[in-house]
Amino acid sequence: MAKKPADKRYTKDHEWVVLDGDIATVGITDHAQEQLGDVVHVELPELDREVAANEACAVVESVKAASDIFAPLAGTVVEINETIVEDPAIVNGDPEGEGWFFKLELDDPDAFEELMDADTYEEYLETL
Amino acid sequence: MTDLKTTPLDAWHRRLGARMVPFAGYAMPVQYDFTGPLADRCRGGVLAEHLHCRSQAALFDVSHMGQAMLTGAGVAEALERLVPGDIMGLKPGRQRYTLLTNEAGGIIDDLMVANLGDERLFLVVNASRKDIDFAHIPGIIPIENQALLALQGPAAAGIIGVPLSFMGVAETHIAGIPCTISRSGYTGEDGFEISVEADRAEALADWLLGHEAVVPAGLGARDSLRLEAGLCLYGHDLDETTTPVEAGLTWVIGKRRKMSWDFPGGAIVRDQLDNGAPRLRVGIKPTGRAPAREGTAIEGAGIVTSGGFSPSLNAPIAMGYVSRDLAEDGTALTLMVRGKPMPATVVPMPFVPHRYVR
């Protein structure tokens, strides 16, 4: 079942996911970067790494603290965004665009549907 | 944030876009999201506020800190029973950094003592240690209803315009507002700390912000600035188990006090000075870009007590305690950062040169 690339989903860990075919692009939400403060360092997963859903696979370090980034769904890392490693400020400047973290080839693209849509994520933010 | 105390500038911070956090029992600004004209000066956030302080001037509210007076004949002599510093030799109009020590030579608090003349000593102690310090110092009179502001950075002197040298202190007026001002700070920059009546604090803060060079800065930038300057944070780099020798603060011991060693823990401190302390505070430069935070283990050597990212150097920096044989500059260390070994080196402090005007 093909999904529109614009169809964006969210996790409770404040990651966003965009699906194109069976490739999911993952990053952190604007809310997340806002809470983290200035991002100063990013560690990304190795290419070809197989990750389980909710497995910690990247780290974002802000001036305040280190935070794990979790794989929103199970899959294999097929691309990483080296640009944010070189210039971590991009994560603050364009978290849901140029500041993406990695791309996963999903084991089960249908699992994407189980993630929160934009409205549900908004509601979730209000409960925090 | 109920039950938190507030500083006289609480509403002022919130108006200017502060993110307030609990710190030492107070609601304090950790960083700002500036809007309007302030946003044109600085985008806000820890990095930008930090760099603004280094390049121009930043205004910190440090009213959470404890301010107190000791007055009467013989106060300097009395205070010397509790600290290793030369307080009797502290001239009117001068301020000194000193330590309250315990019988084991451990540090109860680090503080500033200013001689205001006429047998009056003005003390500024850490917020988190106020109650302990005030119970510990006989005859101390805590000052309530007084704010403490710090204007730090190369543009500060031109704004304040009071002729003081580094660690000079004066009771004077700024913008017509009475205040006690010292040329000192906690950033490594030239700057001033200004004690002002709570009711006049907003007026003074607004007057200072009226200068194009100034933006408010929060505790986040204050912490990264003091770390770059190699300055200790009580409860992290200093506590009741660390001695002045271990902390690299033997310079606070007055020359005269080194004849008699008649301060709490004096014999232990003297022994460590003669024979070496078991561990020493050092500067640490991790390789790579990942910050090594407080609590990071240094394999076979010790522990990181302050660590973060240096906005000025665009690299991680840290300080911590290592065993004496590993404290030499250039010594290779291994930090365990999130379970992974990370090479690091012992380096001299400060990480960023002080720019005090002496």
The model's pLDDT over B283-334, given as tens digits with 9 standing for 90+, comes to 999 998 999 999 999 999 999 999 999 999 999 999 999 999 999 999 999 9
Residue by residue, what is the 3-state secondary structure of chain B?
CCCCECCCCHHHHHHCCEEEEEECCEEEEEEECCCHHHHHHCCCCHHHHHHHHHHCEEEEECCCCEEEEEECCCHHHHHHCCCCCCCCCCCCCEEEEEEEECCCCCEEEEEEEEEEECCEEEEEECHHHHHHHHHHCCCCEECCCEEEEEEECCCHHHHHCCCCCCCEEEEEEECCEEEEEECCCCCCCCEEEEEEEHHHHHHHHHHHHCCCCEEECCHHHHHHHHHHCCCCCECCCECCCCCCCCCCCHHHCCCCHHHHCCCCCHHHHHHHHHHCCCEEEEEEEECCCCCCCCCCEECCCEEEEEEEEECCCCEEEEEEEEEHHHCCCCCEEEEEECCEEEEEEEECCCCCCCCCCC
> Based on the domain organization, do B220 and B288 belong to the same domain?
no
Structure token digits, residue B64: 């959470």
| A 72-101 residues with CB < 8 A to B | 92
* pLDDT at A18 > cutoff 70: yes
Collect all residues of chain B within an 8 Å Cβ-Cβ radius of residue A40. 47, 289, 291, 309
> Based on the domain organization, do B58 and B176 belong to the same domain?
yes
Domain tally, chain B: 2
CATH number for position B341 = 2.40.30.110
> Based on the domain organization, do B26 and B169 belong to the same domain?
yes
Give the whole-angstrom CA distance, residue B341 versus residue B15: 44
pLDDT value at residue B339: 87
Quote the mean pLDDT of chain B: 97
Give the whole-angstrom CA distance, residue B98 versus residue B70: 15
Collect all residues of chain B within an 8 Å Cβ-Cβ radius of residue A59. 290, 338
Residue A93's closest chain B neighbor by CA?
B43
Give the whole-angstrom CA distance, residue B148 versus residue B64: 8
Let me know if residue A1 belongs to a domain: no
> Based on the domain organization, do B192 and B292 belong to the same domain?
no
Read off the pLDDT of each residue in B86-94 and give the average, rounded to a whole number: 98
pLDDT value at residue A6: 56
Collect all residues of chain A within an 8 Å Cβ-Cβ radius of residue B293. 65-66
> Based on the domain organization, do B156 and B27 belong to the same domain?
yes
In Å, how far is B137's CA from the nearest CA of chain A? 35
Let me know if residue A84 belongs to a domain: yes
Query: Is A61's Cβ below 8 Å from some Cβ in B?
Result: yes
What Å distances lie between residue B55 and B52, B277, B317, B355, CA to CA?
5, 38, 20, 12
Give the whole-angstrom CA distance, residue A67 versus residue A28: 11
> Based on the domain organization, do B218 and B324 belong to the same domain?
no
Burial of A91 (0-12, 13-18, 19+ CB in 10 A): buried
pLDDT value at residue A94: 97
Let me know if residue B312 belongs to a domain: yes
Read off the pLDDT of each residue in A13-18 and give the average, rounded to a whole number: 96
Of A43, A63, A92, the CB nearest to B308: A63
Of B47, B290, B311, the CB nearest to A61: B290
Taking every pair of C-alpha atoms in chain A, what is the biggest distance, in angstroms?
Answer: 41
pLDDT value at residue B70: 98
Quote the mean pLDDT of chain A: 93
Omega within 30 of 0 (cis) for the link into B264 = no
Let me know if residue B128 belongs to a domain: no
> Which of B227, B338, B342 to substitute to test the interface with A, most A CBs within 10 Å?
B338
Which amino acid is present at B119?
Answer: E
Domain tally, chain A: 1
Query: Is A47's Cβ below 8 Å from some Cβ in B?
Result: no
> Based on the domain organization, do B56 and B154 belong to the same domain?
yes
Q: Is A26 helix (H, G, I), strand (E, B) or coil?
A: strand
> Based on the domain organization, do B56 and B158 belong to the same domain?
yes
Collect all residues of chain A within an 8 Å Cβ-Cβ radius of residue B338. 59, 66
* pLDDT at A5 > cutoff 70: no
CATH number for position A25 = 2.40.50.100
Collect all residues of chain A within an 8 Å Cβ-Cβ radius of residue B291. 40-41, 61, 66
Q: What angle do CA B233, B67, B26 make, to 5 degrees?
A: 65
Let me know if residue B83 belongs to a domain: no
* pLDDT at A1 > cutoff 60: no
Let me know if residue A2 belongs to a domain: no
Task: Tell me the residues of B at the A interface, defined by beta carbons under 8 Å apart.
Answer: 31, 45-48, 220, 224, 289-291, 293, 308-309, 311, 316, 338
Let me know if residue A16 belongs to a domain: yes
Give the whole-angstrom CA distance, residue B350 versus residue B345: 14
pLDDT value at residue B2: 64
Structure token digits, residue A11: 């996790």
Burial of B341 (0-12, 13-18, 19+ CB in 10 A): exposed
Structure token digits, residue B97: 């950094």
ipTM: 0.86
Give the whole-angstrom CA distance, residue B202 versus residue B11: 9
User: Which of the four pLDDT bands, split at 50, 70 and 90, describes residue B358?
Assistant: confident
User: Which of the four pLDDT bands, split at 50, 70 and 90, describes residue A7?
Assistant: confident
Let me know if residue A89 belongs to a domain: yes
Residue A33's closest chain B neighbor by CA?
B45
Give the whole-angstrom CA distance, residue A125 versus residue A113: 19
Residue A60's closest chain B neighbor by CA?
B290
Domain that holds residue B175: 10-63+145-227
User: Which of the four pLDDT bands, split at 50, 70 and 90, describes residue B28?
Assistant: very high
Let me know if residue B40 belongs to a domain: yes
- pTM for this structure? 0.94
> Which of B223, B224, B287, B309 to substitute to test the interface with A, most A CBs within 10 Å?
B309
Domain that holds residue A55: 8-122
> Which of A30, A33, A64, A90 to substitute to test the interface with B, most B CBs within 10 Å?
A64
Cβ(A18)–Cβ(A29) under 8 Å? no
CATH number for position B194 = 3.30.1360.120
Sequence length of chain A is: 128
* pLDDT at B158 > cutoff 90: yes
> Which of B21, B47, B296, B342 to substitute to test the interface with A, most A CBs within 10 Å?
B47
Of A38, A43, A66, the CB nearest to B46: A38
Collect all residues of chain A within an 8 Å Cβ-Cβ radius of residue B311. 63
Tell me if B46 and A43 make a contact (CB, 8 A cut-off): no
Read off the pLDDT of each residue in B228-247 and give the average, rounded to a whole number: 98
Let me know if residue B107 belongs to a domain: no
Let me know if residue A106 belongs to a domain: yes
Percentage, residues of chain A above pLDDT 70 = 95
> Based on the domain organization, do B182 and B316 belong to the same domain?
no
Give the whole-angstrom CA distance, residue B220 versus residue B181: 24
Read off the pLDDT of each residue in B221-245 and give the average, rounded to a whole number: 98
Query: Is A116's Cβ below 8 Å from some Cβ in B?
Result: no
Tell me if B290 and A64 make a contact (CB, 8 A cut-off): no
Read off the pLDDT of each residue in B198-226 and give the average, rounded to a whole number: 98
Give the whole-angstrom CA distance, residue B107 versus residue B85: 13
* pLDDT at A4 > cutoff 50: no
> Based on the domain organization, do B324 and B192 belong to the same domain?
no
> Based on the domain organization, do B282 and B347 belong to the same domain?
yes
Alpha-carbon dihedral angle through residues A109, A114, A117, A123, given to the nearest 10 degrees:
-160
> Based on the domain organization, do B37 and B162 belong to the same domain?
yes
